[in-house]
Structure 1
Amino acid sequence: MQEFGENIQQAHDEKLGRHLVASISIEPGDTILEERPLLVAPHWECHQLKCAQCLQESYVICRRCQVFPLCMDCSQHDEFECEFFASGAGKALCKDILVKNFGICGLLKLLLLLENPNTQADCQMLIGVPINLGDYRDGEGMWQEHEELVVRPLMECGLVDCLPTQQLTSDILHAHCIRIDSNSFEVTAKDGDTLKGVFVWGATLPHHCVPNTVVALDEQFNMKLYAAVPLQPGDIIYNSYTNPLMGTSQRQHQLRLSRRLECTCTRCLDPTEMGTHMSSLKCKECGGFSVCEIDSNGKLGDWRCPDCKALLTAAEVHELQAEVGSALVDAMGDLQVYEALLTQYGPLLHPNHFMLLDIKQNIASILRAAALMTAMDQPCKKLLARRVELCSDLLPVCRAVVPGISKLYAIGLFEYLLALVELVELQFAESDLNKKEYVAHLKTASLVATEAMDLLRFEPENSAEGYLADRISMELERIESDLKKYGR
């Protein structure tokens, strides 16, 4: 199910539990772990039937077991799953069990893996981790979602009586749901829908907000974990389970909810967040920037200006962030509203503050969509220049928070590349740039494209990032063609 590289070994301690460490020096791009998913399933709230084999939309049911959905291209699915409902214990169950309650699909697959003698051992590491259900009961809707969409329908359909050796109870089913959620990565089906892929090793690596690895997922949902930075013997292999463009308080909140984890990594203990100041606010007294006071346990306190020592209480900061967050929700994709928010809150926050970055990302996305819609007409130079500016603002932050081989930075470079090329081509066509200036911009674009491709060279060819690398390669060929045409 998983293959460890010779460059790593298993380790265990009280704090991290079972984990992986480098056994020799590892270079960026070296493969550390390759793993097939234990299972892939739709999200709990999914109501559209998905093919049991390829996970694309389905409108037919397997003729043999009359339970699992299939698509027009798949004629069969897992043999044990099919046999369970076609004969034996599952034969007496209602055949439209998934049609009525498709949300149970993921947990149903896990229960059948546990029932199958050939796959029981693959599940032991997953189910062997104890779950403290008291930490989850009544916790921000997760328990209720599991109860309504998965646990209750499974308890009521009679399936638990067909699996007597597992001694299933409502609490055991809840624990299984939590295990699936906690060990899942978001994967993408061929039709573009997002799914949950459960990876026993890949999802249990210790967390660090500045990971030293990169996770790559191909179209068959296989995972490849490779080094993002040089690793030395004994270095712990880390992954990140948060959005790197979140501020410290938001990352920690997400980790508490999803992994019951209090993070004290180097970034969480750094008030400047690796020099990005993604959580810093403008000091009202001296015009400097106030940073969050953080103790050695990672607990966040008030915000204080290092220069004049002026204080902003945590309550004041949280109130401001809640205000901006509410305004972002109310913006509803309106470009003018986002620009107004940038003008309103820009003087209060550091230019790299994560909430301003969120606003800038929204504006850049709207501008890109607008450019695509007007591609056949005359695009607006002002619109394109604004997009280049926003993409340029995001790049240094992306580079800082995910050092080494970074897909985040590569994607940022790609967005900047598209905006830059589109702008300078239009400016050259309208004689705003002379030939020498145009060539200079194309050389910059060529360097950007080359750097982005270099960051994506370790991605599987049949992955979203692999296809992105192909797209960038095509763009680079076009740039090089123009450089030859107009001279270097």
Structure 2
Amino acid sequence: MEYLKREIPTCEVCQQPANQTCGGCKQVYYCSKSHQKQGWKEGHKSKCYSFKIQFSPALGKHMIATRDIKQGEIILKEKPAVVGPGMSCTAHCLACGKKLTPIEIEEKFDYYKCPQCNWPMCGPECDKSEVHKNECRIMADRGYKCSIKYENADKNEAAYCVITPLRILLMKDYNPKQFESILNLESHLEDRKQTQLYTLLKTNLVTFIKNVIGLPFKDETILQVASIFDTNSFDVRSPDGTKRCRAIYVMASMMNHNCKPNTRHIFLGEDHNLVLLATVPIAKGELITATYTQSLWGTLDRRKHLKQNKCFDCECERCRDPTEFGTYLGNIYCSMCNGPFSNNGLSKRAMLISTNTLEETAPWKCEKCDHYIQSRQMFWGNNALKQELNGLNKTGPQELEEFIEKYNLTLHPTNHLVIQAKLGLAQIYGNYKGYTLTELPDNLLKRKIDLCDELLELAEKLEPGWTRFRATILLELQAALSMQTKREYEDQKLTKEGAQDQLMRSMALLQEAVNILSIEPHMTEILEAKVKELSSQMDAANSI
């Protein structure tokens, strides 16, 4: 009788039999602690991950947890393989990504220009930066001068489409390993070739690279690089919103998309390093996922965005559920069941849901009666209301409140358009001039608290765990509850013990927000100030 021999693990350093595993990734073995330390110093530190990359015909390349990952744990830190402007954008500095403002030059307004290639930049420090060096030299050597001039600060410049593909192509000579790693990423070029954008790119980008700059690349390779950038790049923004660029992170690009992801990512430092964090506990063997769209969009909008921008049809659990986990984020009420003569209460109103969420042309049918409408009617209605919402005056709450009231018989209270209006209100109440917490009357303070509670309940279903959305709402709710407690105690509606209990709840909410956001350096000062302020309130309540 033959027995299968169990493979004996060997030490990463000396290749002798070993029984100690790396505590981080659980995938590498060592024969002793001294060899574990040696292996760490010799390079395992940069490869020690709590995940592995796998391939399957159904999922393609994807990321799998190799051990249990805790909520809030850092899964990956990665430097960008390439950083640059998007295919079309307003005038931005090619070095730091800052949106440019014109300066007065010879009685005219224009941008500062790089002396060598004439591209708009921030100033001399940026035009001499490392990231701009190679492209600047080759453009200057070929006698190319950028022709962008200031006309309108909000004008999108198509000329930027050449920069990032050029940066990737130039890597073939000065960083061939990085070039190959980028070229191995998914491109979806065959899908993109049919689009109007790639018809233009075939003329403009290919002509620039081959004829203007004179680089010896095939048309297919140039378009492949552009398509890889479109498919895999992350939108990187500075916390204050003044800088914006796009970047490829080779390892992070391996994550699959899910409309209910289990991670979030942030960007740290001037080098735009990506930090990937687990928003919920991830069990060993689970997919590690990110979202490539907006969690507060309905299924119609999410799937359309993913198809147009990432070239795939999402079939995740949320997209397959016509109620989106019971939130009805993309649904409307049935006009027949809930007409003017209906006796249905708010909680009993019937909804129109898609008969096949994975087919955009599928009709939408009432959950209770036989009434249905064509999918194109849903698209038209959705787009019309979206335009109306986008056109509202958001410097105050009035028009947002009127929008919610106007469509309360058409849109579910958690329809994505209503939720966007409610999110706007939650931010206006307590923060905007004339509506600060000290200025809010009691009824609007309660309105803010109710809105935050509703948004947190929605977040738990669609974007659970330690997400930035949840942390933002927690901060808004905590501040409103603290103000409400102060007022109710001063009006003798609360006992000392009652006030202390409510302040303890506020502190718990604040502590959770701190746990979520503490990794973001720009939030440190804000969070410390909030904790100090609330601690003072609690001390005052205890001393009475």
Q: For the structure 1 residues 425 and 173, does the alpha-carbon distance in structure 2 shift closer, same or farther, using more than 3 Å as the test? A: farther
Matches within 5 A, 1:208-287: 208-220=258-270, 221-283=272-334, 284-285=336-337, 287=348
Q: Following TM superposition, by how much is the alpha carbon of 1:222 offset from its aligned partner in structure 2, in angstroms?
A: 0.8
Equivalent in the alignment of 1:131: 188
Equivalent in the alignment of 1:385: 446
Please point out which of 119, 123, 140 is paired with 1:71: 123
Query: Which string of whole-angstrom CA distances, capped at 9 and with x for unpartnered residues, describes residues 51-77 of structure 1?
Result: 515646485445566657353654731
Please point out which of 80, 84, 91 is paired with 1:48: 91
Please point out which of 33, 44, 56 is paired with 2:76: 33
Q: Distance in 1 between matches of 2:379 and 2:139?
A: 55
Query: Which string of whole-angstrom CA distances, capped at 9 and with x for unpartnered residues, describes residues 295-339 of structure 1?
Result: 495667444455x44433344544543442243134243633322
Equivalent in the alignment of 1:468: 523
Query: Which string of whole-angstrom CA distances, capped at 9 and with x for unpartnered residues, describes residues 5-30 of structure 1?
Result: 43211211122222221222322233
1:162 aligns with 2:213: yes
1:277 maps to a residue whose letter is Y
Q: For the structure 1 residues 448 and 190, does the alpha-carbon distance in structure 2 shift closer, same or farther, using more than 3 Å as the test? A: closer
Q: For the structure 1 residues 98 and 242, does the alpha-carbon distance in structure 2 shift closer, same or farther, using more than 3 Å as the test? A: same
- Aligned residues, how many? 469
1:11 aligns with 2:54: yes
Please point out which of 129, 141, 153 is paired with 1:91: 141
Matches within 5 A, 1:431-442: 435-442=496-503
Q: Please, what TM-score do these two structures have when normalized by structure 2?
A: 0.74
* Two-structure CA RMSD over aligned residues (Å): 3.6
Q: Please, what TM-score do these two structures have when normalized by structure 1?
A: 0.82
Q: Distance in 2 between matches of 1:52 and 1:64?
A: 14
Q: Distance in 1 between matches of 2:418 and 2:437?
A: 32
Q: Answer yes or no: is the 8 Å Cα contact 1:293–1:303 preserved in 2.
A: yes
Q: Answer yes or no: is the 8 Å Cα contact 2:65–2:286 preserved in 1.
A: yes
1:449 maps to a residue whose letter is L
1:472 maps to a residue whose letter is L
Gaps of 5+ in 2: 1-44, 102-110, 151-155, 338-343
Q: Distance in 1 between matches of 2:437 and 2:401?
A: 26
Q: Answer yes or no: is the 8 Å Cα contact 2:112–2:123 preserved in 1.
A: yes
Larger Rg: 2
Q: Distance in 2 between matches of 1:173 and 1:431?
A: 72
Query: Which string of whole-angstrom CA distances, capped at 9 and with x for unpartnered residues, describes residues 320-367 of structure 1?
Result: 434422431342436333222211212233221212112212333343
Q: Answer yes or no: is the 8 Å Cα contact 1:40–1:106 preserved in 2.
A: no
Secondary structure of 1:268's counterpart equals: helix
Q: Distance in 1 between matches of 2:468 and 2:436?
A: 27
Gaps of 5+ in 1: none
Q: Following TM superposition, by how much is the alpha carbon of 1:265 offset from its aligned partner in structure 2, in angstroms?
A: 0.9
1:409 aligns with 2:466: no
Secondary structure of 1:69's counterpart equals: coil
1:456 aligns with 2:517: yes
Please point out which of 109, 119, 137 is paired with 2:175: 119
2:470 maps to a residue whose letter is Y
Q: Answer yes or no: is the 8 Å Cα contact 2:97–2:245 preserved in 1.
A: no
Q: Which has the higher contact order (CA 8 A, sep 6+)?
A: 1
1:37 maps to a residue whose letter is P
Query: Which string of whole-angstrom CA distances, capped at 9 and with x for unpartnered residues, describes residues 195-246 of structure 1?
Result: 2222233234211111122212113311112223333333222111111111
Q: Answer yes or no: is the 8 Å Cα contact 1:215–1:225 preserved in 2.
A: yes
Q: Answer yes or no: is the 8 Å Cα contact 2:87–2:162 preserved in 1.
A: no
Q: Distance in 2 between matches of 1:236 and 1:289?
A: 36
Q: Following TM superposition, by how much is the alpha carbon of 1:182 offset from its aligned partner in structure 2, in angstroms?
A: 2.0
Equivalent in the alignment of 1:206: 256
Q: Following TM superposition, by how much is the alpha carbon of 1:379 offset from its aligned partner in structure 2, in angstroms?
A: 4.4
Q: Answer yes or no: is the 8 Å Cα contact 2:83–2:246 preserved in 1.
A: yes
Query: Which string of whole-angstrom CA distances, capped at 9 and with x for unpartnered residues, describes residues 144-190 of structure 1?
Result: 7xx3xx765556667645343213x4x76554433322222221237
Percent of residue pairs identical: 20
Q: Distance in 1 between matches of 2:117 and 2:330?
A: 54
Q: Distance in 2 between matches of 1:99 and 1:176?
A: 27
Q: Distance in 2 between matches of 1:66 and 1:323?
A: 43
Q: Answer yes or no: is the 8 Å Cα contact 2:355–2:365 preserved in 1.
A: no
Q: Answer yes or no: is the 8 Å Cα contact 1:22–1:233 preserved in 2.
A: yes
